[in-house]
């Protein structure tokens, strides 16, 4: 029997065990070919460090676990946690732990990983200074963070920004200090890093670049950072995330060859200078490269497992593509191929939208035929396809710049089909080295027709998760190629699409989530289906959303938007932006009485910020008494119908846009929809209401109105498309009734009108045939359903004010009526308050 010992039980050490089991089909039986002993320093089995920051948002250690302890036992793996190997006797071929335990080996696999690099700065030993590496580190940070107010993260790379997110999640004022002149210097160019910095600062994270920490100030606990330029940044908590160093101390002590800057030297077989000892993961130095991502570590684990089982035959390690995509504090960031091309002749194409916070760069060959690499910040939706285009040397289209532009009419519908042009050997899941051919075979031969089945069957998508969108596209397009109907079910608890469930609820008149789940679903539900079903119930019955509060997010539960610091904003409806002097006075009086911050929004409304949850019913009572209604700023519903002053006042106006906007807003104000809706009415072609950037927009003409639909702003802005020309008001309303009800019935959860239209087979031509030509024969039903919404409208604020049971739910504490005394505000210097920094 061959004794295999693994030093280290991190993600790569665990993956080696998994790959060895997969390669050795007989298993690791007591009398079999191999015995496997795994040593791990930490008190628990391997867990997912890639998603470690999720621990701050409530994900448990068990949920992060790669496999339970029982998995090791069931597979005859001797896992020894809380044990550190301190000595390797290469002649006797034994390892000794810190407890004195001696274990023999025939093959030793070093998977010791890396440790955080802690710069030798005076004062680094003070209390309040942490590294960001293990669950124990995170628990210590969380405990300290309860008594801290400001956190400084040293390091503006991947790990540093993850640590900044953790500090932000703890409610701390967050600063990032980076020695280099830009964030993420290994992945982003200057322009991309500037865009990322802008996004970070918009979220409240303060960035300090080109700063060299000279000393940590304080007596026994940290009170500040003194920089080499003499400036000081005060703080009561520091997180060091300035990079990693390979854990090679055991290899050094045992005489294995290490690199001049650290790392256990390995060959293409991943053998160290001792052929019976392998090194994999972040401790291994291959061709002068330390790989700090999980995917190359997994590839190394697979290669060594194959070498051991096959007795030397198998593939070799030839380096690894360091392309990466991640979401940093809600901001997409990706780099692929060669992001800089500093040594290669190339051409560069750049798309930059500073308003939306999007930066994209493509590096292509001088002849324009092939993609070399690129950078994406703010919108990385195209990452997977761009990565595959680069890796597989696919020929670019004649106008490669089109790959950077937001999707246009008809493009999104065919985006998934593009993956089928990839060669079968194209690696779709880098973490598990799973090819497109393997995915498609799982669909066709093993009936794996959803993501869960693909993960179970192939392991694709179980690592970082970045390949999941492409997996979905491959499943869909492979099924279509087989002539099968593709149904996008709501979630694992409902084997129905949203449209099917909508129709069932409408026909059978269920009124609660429990009834819907009992009738059509299974299990207890989840965060995907609960809000979707609540939206369907509100859309069909137009009932008070607060009665579904148990399955709503915070905004819908309290009929107000939660803001920084834990207070809420109140935004009454001001239809068409038209308001009387008396109502303006009431808004001023309420704002003054409750000390609220006032802001005129981009949608021609007035928002009042800073209300405590217990104050909301009292504020609403005063506003509804003055004739105001809920503005639904918290809901997936109609927000505003923006208008210009139109022909009433403007000398260019040709129609009364204000009156029409008020009528439309009052008609659709009670509509609940898959996503928020925005509208605009312009009184002439000068387009002051910006109607063509709205979900539905109307522009006056000399003969009537032009109706535009399916536009939106945001990260991927879309221009609305023309649905009808020179129609009268009655026809316009009739078309809108049909369009909106068709959208509500058929859109996916949280899908805006623009992507809905792009994925609608037949596009605008088909939409016109439905709305105008009644090709479905459902227009009469659409109009009746919309009229039901209009007839059953009730102001949600007033419903809460008049209902004592609902009103009693508006308190900060579940078991006490005390107010939250921890809310803190500061002056903004312009005569109003704002929340103190988190």
**What residues have CB less than 8 Å from 410, skipping those under 6 apart?**
758, 763
Q: Are residues 223 and 160 in the same domain?
A: yes
pLDDT of 233 reads 96
Q: Which regions of 412-517 does DSSP assign to beta strands (E)?
A: 427-429, 434-435
C-alpha to C-alpha distance for 812 and 817, rounded to whole angstroms: 7
Establish if 796 belongs to a structural domain: no
* 753-791 per-position pLDDT tens digit: 998 998 888 889 999 999 999 999 999 999 999 999 999
Q: Are residues 777 and 641 in the same domain?
A: yes
Q: Are residues 282 and 299 in the same domain?
A: yes
Is pLDDT of 186 > 90?
no
Mean pLDDT of the 122-148 span: 93
pLDDT of 111 reads 97
Q: Are residues 227 and 80 in the same domain?
A: no
pLDDT of 29 reads 46
Q: Print the domain residue range for 288.
A: 2-114+246-310
Of 446, 466, 470, the residue nearest 457 (C-alpha): 446
* 362-419 per-position pLDDT tens digit: 999 999 999 999 999 988 888 888 988 898 888 888 888 877 765 443 343 344 557 8
Q: Are residues 96 and 163 in the same domain?
A: no
Is pLDDT of 550 > 60?
no
> Where residue 313 falls among pLDDT bands split at 50, 70, 90?
low
C-alpha to C-alpha distance for 168 and 155, rounded to whole angstroms: 15
Q: Which two tokens stand for residue 190?
A: 């200057």
Establish if 616 belongs to a structural domain: no
What are the Cα distances from residue 373, in Å, to 112, 322, 324, 334?
A: 32, 11, 12, 11
Report the CATH number at residue 744.
3.30.413.10
- What percentage of residues in the chain have a pLDDT greater than 90? 52
C-alpha to C-alpha distance for 460 and 433, rounded to whole angstroms: 8
Establish if 341 belongs to a structural domain: no
What are the Cα distances from residue 361, in Å, to 91, 157, 327, 349, 401?
A: 54, 19, 18, 6, 10
pLDDT of 412 reads 39
More confident residue, 742 or 535: 742
Establish if 380 belongs to a structural domain: no
Q: Are residues 675 and 782 in the same domain?
A: yes
Q: Which two tokens stand for residue 561?
A: 């938007």
650 marked among binding-site residues: yes
Mean pLDDT highest for which of 154-168, 699-713, 715-729, 802-816? 699-713
Whether the CB-CB separation of 599 and 562 falls below 8 Å is answered with no
Establish if 590 belongs to a structural domain: no
Establish if 373 belongs to a structural domain: no
> Where residue 666 falls among pLDDT bands split at 50, 70, 90?
very high
Report the CATH number at residue 143.
3.50.50.60
Q: Are residues 145 and 219 in the same domain?
A: yes
Window from 121-130, 483-492, 591-600 with minimum mean pLDDT: 483-492
Q: Report if pTM > 0.75.
A: no
Window from 33-37, 337-341, 818-822 with minimum mean pLDDT: 818-822
Q: Are residues 51 and 66 in the same domain?
A: yes
Q: Are residues 68 and 171 in the same domain?
A: no
> Where residue 171 falls among pLDDT bands split at 50, 70, 90?
confident
Domain count, the chain: 3
688 marked among binding-site residues: yes
C-alpha to C-alpha distance for 403 and 821, rounded to whole angstroms: 52
C-alpha to C-alpha distance for 662 and 574, rounded to whole angstroms: 9
| Pairing assessment for the beta strands 77-80 and 34-39 based on DSSP bridges | parallel
Q: Which of 242, 257, 273 is the last residue of a domain?
A: 242
Establish if 31 belongs to a structural domain: yes
Q: Are residues 228 and 256 in the same domain?
A: no
Q: Which two tokens stand for residue 420?
A: 């089928």
Whether the CB-CB separation of 258 and 236 falls below 8 Å is answered with no
Is pLDDT of 26 > 80?
no
pLDDT of 114 reads 94
Q: Are residues 661 and 773 in the same domain?
A: yes
pLDDT of 120 reads 92
Whether the CB-CB separation of 576 and 619 falls below 8 Å is answered with no
Q: Which of 242, 265, 286 is the last residue of a domain?
A: 242
DSSP string, 585-644: HHHHHHHHHTT-EEEE-TTS-EEEEEE-GGGHHHHHHHHHHTT--B--TTSSBEEEEEE-
N residues, the chain: 838
- What percentage of residues in the chain have a pLDDT greater than 70? 95
Q: Which of 219, 242, 265 is the last residue of a domain?
A: 242
> Where residue 216 falls among pLDDT bands split at 50, 70, 90?
very high
Mean pLDDT score of the chain: 88
C-alpha to C-alpha distance for 838 and 836, rounded to whole angstroms: 6
Establish if 169 belongs to a structural domain: yes
Q: Are residues 107 and 122 in the same domain?
A: no
């Amino acid at each position: 029997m061959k004794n295999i010992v693994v030093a280290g039980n991190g993600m790569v050490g665990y993956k080696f065990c998994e790959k060895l089991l997969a390669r050795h089909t007989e298993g690791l039986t007591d009398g079999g070919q191999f015995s496997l002993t795994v040593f791990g320093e930490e008190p628990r089995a391997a867990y997912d460090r890639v998603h470690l920051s999720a621990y701050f948002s409530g994900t448990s250690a068990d949920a992060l676990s790669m496999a339970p302890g029982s998995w090791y036992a069931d597979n005859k793996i001797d896992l020894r946690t809380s044990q550190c190997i301190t000595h390797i006797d290469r002649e006797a071929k034994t390892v000794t732990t810190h407890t004195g335990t001696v274990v023999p080996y025939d093959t030793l696999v070093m998977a010791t990983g890396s440790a955080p690099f802690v710069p030798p700065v005076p004062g680094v030993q003070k209390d309040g200074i942490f590294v960001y590496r293990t669950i124990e580190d995170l628990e210590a940070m969380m405990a300290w963070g309860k008594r801290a107010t400001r956190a400084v993260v040293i390091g503006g790379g991947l790990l540093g920004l993850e640590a900044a997110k953790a500090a932000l999640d703890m409610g701390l004022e967050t600063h990032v200090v980076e020695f280099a002149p830009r964030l993420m210097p290994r992945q982003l160019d200057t322009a991309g890093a500037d865009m990322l910095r802008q996004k970070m600062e918009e979220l409240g994270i303060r960035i300090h670049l080109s700063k060299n920490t000279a000393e940590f100030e304080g007596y026994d606990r940290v009170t500040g950072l003194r920089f080499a330029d003499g400036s000081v940044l005060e703080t009561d908590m520091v997180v060091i995330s300035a990079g990693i160093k390979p854990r090679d101390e055991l290899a050094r002590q045992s005489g294995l060859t290490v690199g001049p800057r650290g790392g256990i030297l390995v060959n293409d077989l991943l053998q160290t200078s001792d052929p019976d000892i392998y090194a994999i993961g972040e401790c291994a130095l291959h061709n002068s490269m330390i790989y700090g991502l999980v995917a190359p570590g997994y590839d190394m684990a697979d290669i060594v497992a194959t070498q051991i089982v096959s007795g030397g035959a198998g593939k070799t390690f030839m380096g690894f593509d360091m392309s990466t995509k991640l979401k940093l504090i809600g901001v997409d960031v990706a780099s692929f191929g060669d992001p800089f091309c500093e040594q290669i002749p190339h051409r560069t194409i750049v798309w930059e939208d500073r308003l939306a916070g999007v930066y994209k760069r493509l590096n292509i060959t001088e002849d324009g035929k092939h993609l070399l690499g690129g950078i994406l910040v703010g919108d990385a939706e195209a990452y997977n396809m761009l990565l595959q285009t680069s890796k597989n040397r696919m020929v670019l289209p004649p106008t490669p710049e089109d790959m950077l532009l937001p999707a246009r009419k008809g493009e999104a519908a065919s985006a998934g089909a593009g993956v089928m042009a990839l060669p079968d050997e194209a690696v779709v899941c880098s973490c598990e080295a799973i090819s497109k051919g393997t995915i498609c075979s799982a669909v066709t031969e093993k009936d794996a027709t959803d993501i869960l089945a693909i993960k179970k069957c192939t392991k694709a998508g179980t690592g970082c998760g970045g390949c999941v969108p492409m997996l979905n596209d491959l499943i869909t397009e492979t099924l279509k190629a087989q002539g099968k109907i593709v149904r996008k079910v709501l979630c694992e608890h409902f084997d129905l699409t949203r449209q099917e469930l909508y129709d069932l609820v409408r026909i059978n008149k269920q009124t609660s989530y429990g009834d819907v789940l009992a009738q059509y679903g299974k299990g207890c539900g989840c965060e995907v289906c609960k809000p979707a079903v609540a939206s369907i119930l509100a859309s069909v019955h137009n009932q008070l959303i607060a009665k579904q509060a148990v399955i709503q997010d915070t905004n819908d539960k309290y009929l107000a938007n939660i803001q920084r610091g834990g207070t809420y904003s109140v935004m009454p409806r001001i239809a068409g932006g038209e308001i009387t002097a008396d109502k303006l006075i009431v808004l001023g009086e309420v704002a003054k009485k409750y000390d609220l911050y006032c802001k005129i929004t981009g949608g021609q409304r007035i928002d009042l910020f800073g209300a405590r949850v217990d104050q909301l019913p009292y504020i609403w009572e005063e506003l509804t008494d003055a004739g105001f209604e809920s503005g639904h700023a918290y809901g997936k519903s109609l927000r505003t119908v923006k208008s210009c002053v139109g022909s009433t006042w403007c000398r260019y106006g040709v129609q009364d846009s204000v009156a029409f906007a008020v009528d439309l807003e009052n008609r659709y104000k009670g509509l609940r929809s898959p996503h928020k809706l925005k509208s605009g009415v312009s009184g002439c072609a000068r387009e002051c209401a910006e109607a063509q950037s709205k979900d539905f927009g109307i522009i006056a003409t000399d003969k009537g109105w032009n109706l535009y639909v399916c536009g939106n702003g945001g990260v991927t802005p879309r221009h609305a498309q023309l649905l009808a020309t020179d129609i009268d008001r009655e026809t316009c309303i009739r078309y809108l009734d049909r369009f909106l009800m068709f959208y509500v019935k058929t859109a996916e959860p949280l899908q805006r009108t623009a992507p809905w239209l792009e994925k609608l087979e037949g596009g605008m031509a088909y939409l016109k045939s439905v709305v105008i030509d009644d090709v479905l024969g459902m227009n009469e039903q659409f109009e009746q359903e919309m009229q039901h919404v209009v007839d059953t409208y009730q102001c949600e604020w007033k419903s809460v004010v008049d209902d004592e049971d609902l009103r009693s739910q508006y308190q900060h504490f579940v078991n006490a009526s005390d107010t939250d005394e921890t809310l803190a505000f500061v002056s903004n210097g312009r005569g109003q308050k704002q929340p103190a920094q988190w």
